[in-house]
Chains A and B, each alone.
Chain A
Amino acid sequence: MKQVYITEDSPTQLLRVRRILADIPDIELTTFSDGLQSYEAVRRKPPHLLMMDLILPSLHGLAVCRLLKFHEDYSKIPVLIFSSVTESSIEEQVRAVRGDGYLRKPFSAEDLLVQVRRLLESP
């Protein structure tokens, strides 16, 4: 069973993501609504994949990603970031903090499934 953490402060968005991921067998979802909370959870028990929104209470998604990627123990955890930010440079910013994937909201179920499967299968 693979552990997937989702950090999203919008219950509406979270509901849909959970529904889409129900199509993937053998994953266990844990959800957080706060950036700092999820960062601390990752440090306590590293997941196989961390998915998170960009703009979060307490700690920005890019900051969480940067902190994790700096740390040897957590740098290999794939991080998928999603956001409705329309800045053209946002994908560049995600790459700069070594994020492993980016999806612009609202995304299709297919796009999310492709990304999640890819990241869960990555070595």
Chain B
Amino acid sequence: MSRDAVLTALLDRLERELHDWEQGGAARAVLGDVQRWVALQAGEYIPGLGQFRLDDVLQAIGEACGIGYQIQGDLQLRRWGDAEAVQSLLRTFVWSFAPARIGCLQAEQGRDAHCVRFSVVAETLPAPHPSPYLQSLAAALKASWEGPQLTMPLAQTEADADPPVDIEFFLESTFNDPGFQRELSEAFREEGTRQLLSLRDNYTRDTLHSLRGSAALIGAKRLARMLETEEKALNPAALEALETEFGRVLGWLDQQEKPGGISP
């Protein structure tokens, strides 16, 4: 099954789930968000898929701010690699539309087929208008869309040239133990997500400091440097950049979670 087919299957499944879940406009808006977001993220896998209007994306983001919704379902896949790809896309989606929490997001490796089981719960925001973060996300999307690199993957930036995690440091810090690497990565993922969400409401030096310690521990040196700068500057406008870099670190950690661990 190709990546195109996996993503198409994912969208079909989401559509069926949402049709079963009779919530009128909210359901349609959610479906639109998912389709558009997956299409954006999938740009690097499916050239030409991202042919839709930017205004639709911005409108969907705005709508997503004012509704509460839940998506859940299973997706059967033939190849393990596809399951990882879909997991990664869903994580990106959830992260980008926070405040959202992942009720359950796991991939199960079976003998003949693999299953991605997901449950995404996005909580209703108290404000009827897009949050500053979503507005800045929309601005970033717009800039990305209008820039000369229209066909490049959305996440590709200058920072992507450097790996977000120092692999030598990560291996040393985790004692070259793949099991412990997974355990520590998961702890960092949960802790960092919680702290970044907390920063949205309460941008404090202590939270920045705590996250910096954890980032440094796993070798996420660029993120640690950014957080150290922020501990002094304490400028909430920098939160978006921190979230982006955190997303890169998670993406890197996801890539390492393969059988046999990693090697320098």
Per-residue A-contact encoding for B40-77, CB less than 8 Å = 1, 0 else:
00000000000000000000000000000000000000
Task: For the complex formed, measure the closest distance between the CB of B164 and the CB atoms of chain A, giving whole angstroms.
Answer: 16
List, in ascending order, chain B residues with CB within 8 A of A84's CB: 209, 212-213, 216
Q: Does B183 have its Cβ within 8 Å of any Cβ on chain A?
A: yes
**Given known A-B contacts A55-B206, A86-B228, A12 and B175 have beta carbons under 8 A apart:** no
**Given known A-B contacts A55-B209, A84-B209, A84-B216, A15 and B187 have beta carbons under 8 A apart:** yes
B218 touches A12 (CB 8 A): yes
Interface of B is mostly: helix
Per-residue A-contact encoding for B163-193, CB less than 8 Å = 1, 0 else:
0000000001101000010011001101100
Interface size on B, residues (CB 8 A): 20
Once bound together, how far apart are the Cα atoms of A83 and B206, in whole Å?
12
Q: Which of A55, A86, A106 contacts B217 (CB 8 A)?
A: A106
**Given known A-B contacts A11-B191, A106-B173, A16 and B209 have beta carbons under 8 A apart:** no
Spell out A's residues near B (CB within 8 Å). 9-13, 15-16, 19, 53, 55, 83-86, 105-106, 108-109
**Can you name 14 extra interface pairs (CB under 8 A) apart from A16-B184, A19-B180, A106-B173?**
A11-B190, A11-B191, A12-B184, A12-B187, A12-B214, A13-B214, A13-B217, A15-B184, A16-B217, A19-B175, A83-B213, A84-B209, A85-B209, A105-B216
Spell out B's residues near A (CB within 8 Å). 172-173, 175, 180, 183-184, 187-188, 190-191, 206, 209-210, 212-214, 216-218, 228
> What would 24 A/B residue contacts be, using CB atoms closer than 8 Å?
A9-B210, A10-B213, A10-B214, A11-B187, A11-B191, A12-B184, A12-B191, A13-B213, A13-B217, A15-B184, A16-B184, A16-B217, A19-B180, A55-B206, A55-B209, A55-B210, A84-B212, A84-B216, A85-B209, A86-B228, A105-B213, A106-B173, A106-B213, A109-B175
